[in-house]
Amino acid sequence: MKEIRFGPNTDEHDFDFKVKHAIKFLEEGAKVKAYVHFRGRSIAYKEKGEIILLKFAQALEEFGKVEMLPKLEGNRMFLHLAPLPNIKKAAKPTKVEIPKATDEVADAEADK
């Protein structure tokens, strides 16, 4: 299980960056645990944390399914995602060998 941490004031660029990492984790077949960590008085912004996690789940609906909706435990709000079973793991590209021209082929082309 891979963890991704947000703050209640996570900016759009940081959010997008973390979504890309989550997509990679889900494609590899790992579960993702996303959480918003509230520090000090930021616990007053529970709504912001829930919005961030729901937006995160919506951004990843093509790659994973929500196992557990946002839930506040202590000073963290969690969301669990599991990879979809029909997502195929990224296949490594195979090298295609190009046959080298033999002398006979080269001579035939030179005669033309």
- Quote the CA–CA distance of 75 and 18 in Å, as a whole number: 21
Which tokens hold the place of 1? 């299980």
Could you give the C-alpha distances from 51 to 25, 31, 39, 69, 95, in angstroms and in order? 22, 21, 17, 12, 45
* Record: fold of 2-111: Translation Initiation Factor IF3 (3.30.110)
pLDDT of residue 43: 85
Q: What is the pLDDT of residues 70-85, one digit of tens each?
A: 888 888 999 999 988 8
pLDDT of residue 94 exceeding 60:
no
pLDDT of residue 97 exceeding 60:
no
pLDDT of residue 10: 87
- Quote the CA–CA distance of 20 and 2 in Å, as a whole number: 13
Whether the CB-CB separation of 43 and 73 falls below 8 Å is answered with no
Where do the structural domains in the chain lie, given as residue ranges? 2-111
Give the residue from 88, 93, 108 showing the smallest Cα distance to 26.
88
Q: Whole-model pTM?
A: 0.70
Which tokens hold the place of 32? 């993702």
Which tokens hold the place of 52? 């961030």
